[in-house]
């Protein structure tokens, strides 16, 4: 088994796990919480809306992570995986090990992050957040 083959297997497993979690989240977000909002009085519905919002954000985060893994799998298929999208230089293996969905080398990622405002988190961080959730 080649290194990229093992990686592909790993990414497919992660993608599958994400879809399982999305399947678990979606029915709750759309049905149960929406029902809570309708049922509860004004005071409680504000709380339920907060829960719905948190759920929606979670779904968005998982969807983004799934999308990035799908793109990484596509790059493996194309043979462009591990290549920086900005400068075409190879992305260091240590970086890919830490963030398998990385599309930029450290230098270009740094440049991209300094371009981006602090309010808009770089898409790359979705993976990091997924691996190391904050308390
Ligand atoms: Zn680069």
pLDDT in tens, the chain (135 residues): 576 789 999 999 999 999 999 888 876 656 666 676 666 555 566 777 787 788 888 888 999 999 999 999 999 999 999 999 999 999 999 999 999 999 999 999 999 999 885 545 555 545 554 444 445
Q: Enumerate residues with CB within 5 Å of ligand 1 (an ion).
A: 84, 86-87, 105, 108
Residue 88 CA to ligand 1 centre (angstroms): 6
6 and 71: one domain?
A: yes
Residue 2 CA to ligand 1 center (angstroms) comes to: 25
Whether 28 and 73 map to the same domain: the answer is yes
Residues 102 and 38 in one domain: no
Same domain for 28 and 45? yes
Q: Are residues 25 and 68 in the same domain?
A: yes
Q: Is residue 131 part of a domain?
A: no
Domain presence at residue 69 = yes
Q: Is residue 100 assigned to a domain?
A: yes
| Closest C-alpha among 120, 119, 124, 118 to residue 104 | 124
Contacts of residue 13, Cβ cutoff 8 Å, sequence gap at least 6: none
pLDDT of residue 132: 46
| 88 close to 106: Cβ distance less than 8 angstroms | no
- Residues facing 90 on adjacent strands: 83
User: Domain tally for the chain?
Assistant: 2
Rounded to the nearest whole angstrom, what is the distance from the C-alpha of residue 119 to the centroid of ligand 1?
23
Q: How far is the CA of 71 from the centre of ligand 1 (A)?
A: 18
Q: Does 49 lie in the same domain as 15?
A: yes
Beta-carbon count within 10 A of 82 CB: 21
User: 9 C-alpha to center of ligand 1: Å?
Assistant: 26
Q: Which of 89, 97, 98 is nearest to 125 (CA)?
A: 98
Residues 89 and 71 in one domain: no
Say how far apart CA 129 and CA 91 lie, in whole Å: 20
Do 36 and 51 meet the contact criterion of CB atoms below 8 Å apart?
A: yes
In a domain, 107, yes or no: yes
pTM of the model: 0.66
Is residue 134, in this structure, part of any structural domain at all?
no
Structural domain of 8: 1-81
- Report pLDDT for 94: 92
């Amino acid at each position: 088994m080649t290194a990229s083959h093992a990686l592909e297997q790993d990414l497919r497993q992660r993608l599958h796990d994400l879809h399982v979690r999305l399947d678990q989240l979606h029915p709750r977000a759309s049905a149960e919480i929406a029902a809570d909002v309708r049922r509860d009085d004004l005071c409680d519905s504000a709380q339920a809306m907060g829960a719905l919002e948190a759920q929606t954000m979670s779904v968005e985060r998982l969807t983004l992570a799934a999308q990035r893994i799908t793109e990484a799998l596509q790059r493996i298929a194309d043979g462009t995986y591990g290549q920086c999208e900005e400068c075409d230089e190879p992305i260091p293996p240590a970086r890919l090990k830490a963030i398998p969905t990385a599309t930029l080398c450290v230098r270009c990622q740094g440049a991209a992050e300094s371009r981006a405002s602090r309010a808009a988190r770089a898409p790359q961080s979705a993976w990091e957040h997924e691996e190391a959730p904050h308390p």
